[in-house]
Structure 1
Amino acid sequence: MNTHARASRKARTFWVPTLLRFALLCLIILAVAASFGVVAGLVWFGLSLVALLFLQIWSLYRIEQWLDLPYGTPRPKTWGLWAHAAKRLENVRREDERSRVDMAEWLARFRQAMSLLPDGVVIVDGVMHLEWCNPTAEKHLGLDQLRDEGRLLTNLIRAPEFVDYMLSSRFEQPLAFVHHHRKIQLQLISFDNRRQIIVTHDLTQAEKNDTLRRDFIANASHELRTPLTVINGFLEHALSTEMDHKTRQRQLNLMAEQGQRMQRLVADMLALTRLESLVQQPSAETVRILPMLHRIVDQARALSEGRHLITLDAQAIDLKGNHDELESAFTNLLTNAVRYTPDGGSIQISWKMVGEGAALGVCDDGIGIAAEHLSRLTERFYRVDKTRSRITQGTGLGLAIVKHVLLRHRGHLLIESAPGKGSCFSAVFDRPQLILSDVKM
């Protein structure tokens, strides 16, 4: 049905009953006038008008009272045009309530979506009073939605850079500032005349990663420069000077040694970079630890060349994880013990249940490590004694590799040491990573 047809039908619905009622009233008045005289007809006409006016006022009053009642209250019993109007009003209220419910659901979904964003979202009015913020923004800016709603944002965040930015009215570029020990970047976006959105992003971890990356490149360059300097120096000397076979052989051996050092360093850097870039958990293959430990201990004894007493005490406990990564971590722990334990010292390797998990312990009776160094031992290229590290030819990346392997296998590294009392490095694994056996060793 087109618009013109609907309008015609509504007009008929409105006017036909009205005209019929008016015609009936006129007939009644004429009948009264014919039966009782003109005066009686006029009196009847006046009383009818008063009655109709009262009914109209009464119907209007009831509808007005009904509009103040909650949605869902039945519409009042009226007649004539007022019944039609009340029905139309009821339909309007129903549509309004449906729109209100839809809007509330949409707003709830919007807030839920905003709450899941990794960035902070703050909604303020035209004069910077807080209307809403998501949990990420609460963390970034130290806000509390329930406590701070309606308060002036520049009173809640007192950082001078933030206040200046908000008062400047120049929001083309984002602002970066430190707040509650976090580096926060934010930008204000106007989306209507009465509200504005502030989007925040935490730069703390990104800046920390950039610093680590710069330090890594600087340290790697420094570590590579030393052997390259040695090799280039010997090559220049060999090209410019005649030398006997013994001297040449000694320099070739030193160059080969420095080349192997660079090779170990590059291999460790590649291994560490690969571990840091992996996102998925390692495959859940069964890794047999006992054969691995026997093989690593044999390698350590070969590296020691009889200068240390190396013992193994292990239980038949297997692990879920990646075989190569675990072997790399365990090898680094035992190789470090051999390199940093003085001749004649002893090294004890244990693999057993500890509490709710299992631990690989590598303990020695060497010179030990001062307490101020313990928390930094797993940093890349960190060395307690740089001179001794050059002698032992360590890369400075072994414990960093161990830390990342353990993190990928739900484990952690414990370090206990004291000067003159030796050191004990323990790779601890949680119970879910273990595969137990009845066989003991």
Structure 2
Amino acid sequence: MIVSTRTARKFWVPVLLWFGLLLLVAVAIGAIYGARGGLVFFSISLSILLFLQMWSLYQIEQWMDRPVGGPRPRTWGLWRHAFDRLEDIRLEDERSRAEMAEWLARFRQTMSVLPDGVVIIDGVMHLEWCNPAAQKHLGLDLARDEGRLLTNLIRSPDFVDYMLSGRFDQPLPFMHHDRKILVQLISFESRRQILVTHDVTQSEKTDTMRRDFIANASHELRTPLTVINGFLEHALNSEMGEETRQRQLKLMAEQGQRMQRLVADMLTLTRLESLVQPPSSDTVRIKPLLNRLVEEARALSAGKHSISLQAQEIDLKGNHDELESAFANLLSNAVRYTPDGGHIAVSWAMENDCATLSVIDDGIGIAAEHLDRLTERFYRVDKTRSRSTQGTGLGLAIVKHVLLRHRGRLQITSEYAKGSCFKMIFQRAQLALRQD
């Protein structure tokens, strides 16, 4: 009430003073030149005052259209106070806009680095904004799709039904562009909604691999256990000759060794997958290691194959046990899958500025359609032959994980019925300088 009275006083007192002054001057002129002269003076004075007011209003309009900080019009009287008030209001408004823009930029920056997608839509499902993750998950383009209907941009029947159902208490999994996406709609304003997306493709693949791993491991263990249990039941429930007993004991021992190898490989693979720290940077002398592994491969071959080795004096930085496991798996695979009388050539040399271990055989070879899947756990090209050669199906999976930890890669070339070439390629940065 006090502020209103003060404002009214600031306005009306000058107005009344101006009108009073003009009226006195007009009366004085009327007394000298007559009533008509006083009336003419009063009319002209009011017209001039009206023009000045209109000019001030025009200046306000022009000034409000200019950005903040521009030159302020020259004013007088009440208009100067009005301009002061307007300028304060404009400055406060600009500060509020700047703060709002800063908060909006921070919000969008925060949303942009989230691994989950965020899509903001209005009450009738028109796209207002989305972060890069949502663009990747749903195939959206904000510059192109802003303002368009979301159900027209994503035409999956499951997604459209979910958006139109009005029941958003549970998330919806659906396939989109070969990805499995989990979406859930959240209302946060009366006229706006947030659609949150999460890519579960990799987790689904991991779960599938885990289920397959358990199923395959159970299957691989069940076969030798069935053999051992069958022989034990036969031995307990019947009498047998010494020759039969020795033969069955030998078979049980073989199956027990097979289970032991399988469990050892599973433990090795699990350990490699669970390690997050890089391998040790010890210097591993590769040539002596290969000499020993080749001798073991010759023992495994039992003279059925010719195995040659050519190794340069090249050392690696890494974990000795992991590299030994990877090398041994390649060599044992070559022995197992090369027919009797075949040749296996092992070489350790520099190729294209990389240290390369090559294992070349003239064995049964591998068809092209199987090459991309060879490093999968328990994947076998010929399951019958794999079991007869006592393979566990985990060797190349172990090789792949060891190479990943040592910044290497596996290259496989093969031609069916003509042989295969397996190469473990290590970057130059992985080499260890020799002290001699």
TM-score by length of 1: 0.88
CA contact 1:119–1:200 (8 Å) conserved in 2? yes
CA contact 1:29–1:44 (8 Å) conserved in 2? no
- Which residue in 2 is equivalent to 1:340? 337
- Which residue in 2 is equivalent to 1:372? 369
User: In 1, distance between residues paired with 2:10 and 2:342?
Assistant: 115
Deviation at 1:340, TM superposition (A): 2.0
Instruction: Write the mapping of 1:63-74 to structure 2, written as runs, cut at 5 A.
Output: 63-74=60-71
- Which residue in 2 is equivalent to 1:188? 185
- Which residue in 2 is equivalent to 1:162? 159
CA contact 2:285–2:315 (8 Å) conserved in 1? yes
- Which residue in 1 is equivalent to 2:251? 254
CA contact 1:71–1:93 (8 Å) conserved in 2? yes
Task: Give unmatched runs, 5+ long, in structure 1.
Answer: none
Task: Give unmatched runs, 5+ long, in structure 2.
Answer: none
* 1:47-80 Cα deviation digits (max 9, x unpaired): 6555444433332221122112223222211112
- Aligned partner of 1:337: which letter? A
Deviation at 1:344, TM superposition (A): 2.8
- Which residue in 2 is equivalent to 1:146? 143
* 1:292-342 Cα deviation digits (max 9, x unpaired): 222222322232233322222122222233222211111110111122223
Deviation at 1:345, TM superposition (A): 2.4
Counterpart check, 1:407 vs 2:421: no
* 1:266-311 Cα deviation digits (max 9, x unpaired): 1111111222233343333333322322222232223223332222
- Aligned partner of 1:335: which letter? S
- Decide which of 112, 116, 122 is 1:119's aligned counterpart: 116
Indicate the larger mover: 331-340 or 290-299: 290-299
User: In 1, distance between residues paired with 2:322 and 2:121?
Assistant: 51
* 1:223-259 Cα deviation digits (max 9, x unpaired): 1011111221222223223445554444333323222
SS in 2 for 1:77: coil
- Which residue in 2 is equivalent to 1:271? 268
SS in 1 for 2:376: coil
- Which residue in 1 is equivalent to 2:348? 351
The RMSD of aligned alpha carbons is 2.8
User: In 1, distance between residues paired with 2:355 and 2:190?
Assistant: 62
SS in 2 for 1:261: helix
User: In 1, distance between residues paired with 2:28 and 2:338?
Assistant: 134
- Which residue in 2 is equivalent to 1:98? 95
CA contact 2:22–2:42 (8 Å) conserved in 1? no
- Which residue in 2 is equivalent to 1:224? 221
Indicate the larger mover: 245-254 or 167-176: 245-254
Indicate the larger mover: 84-93 or 21-30: 21-30
CA contact 2:224–2:259 (8 Å) conserved in 1? yes
Deviation at 1:436, TM superposition (A): 5.0
CA change 1:392–1:84 in 2 (3 A) is same
SS in 1 for 2:279: coil
TM-score by length of 2: 0.89
SS in 1 for 2:373: coil
User: In 2, distance between residues paired with 1:153 and 1:28?
Assistant: 68
CA contact 1:287–1:319 (8 Å) conserved in 2? yes
- Aligned partner of 2:89: which letter? V
User: In 1, distance between residues paired with 2:435 and 2:306?
Assistant: 29
- Which residue in 2 is equivalent to 1:434? 431
Deviation at 1:218, TM superposition (A): 0.9
SS in 2 for 1:375: helix
User: In 1, distance between residues paired with 2:197 and 2:87?
Assistant: 45
Counterpart check, 1:237 vs 2:234: yes
Counterpart check, 1:199 vs 2:196: yes
- Aligned partner of 2:361: which letter? D
User: In 1, distance between residues paired with 2:374 and 2:62?
Assistant: 79
User: In 1, distance between residues paired with 2:22 and 2:378?
Assistant: 111
SS in 2 for 1:347: strand
CA contact 1:75–1:87 (8 Å) conserved in 2? no
CA contact 1:30–1:41 (8 Å) conserved in 2? no
- Aligned partner of 2:339: which letter? P
CA change 1:20–1:371 in 2 (3 A) is closer
CA contact 1:367–1:420 (8 Å) conserved in 2? yes
* 1:368-427 Cα deviation digits (max 9, x unpaired): 222232222212112223232222211110011111111222222111222332221111
- Aligned partner of 1:350: which letter? S
CA contact 1:316–1:436 (8 Å) conserved in 2? no
SS in 1 for 2:170: coil
User: In 2, distance between residues paired with 1:202 and 1:208?
Assistant: 11
- Decide which of 393, 396, 420 is 1:423's aligned counterpart: 420
CA change 1:31–1:55 in 2 (3 A) is closer
Deviation at 1:12, TM superposition (A): 6.0
Percent identity over the alignment is: 71
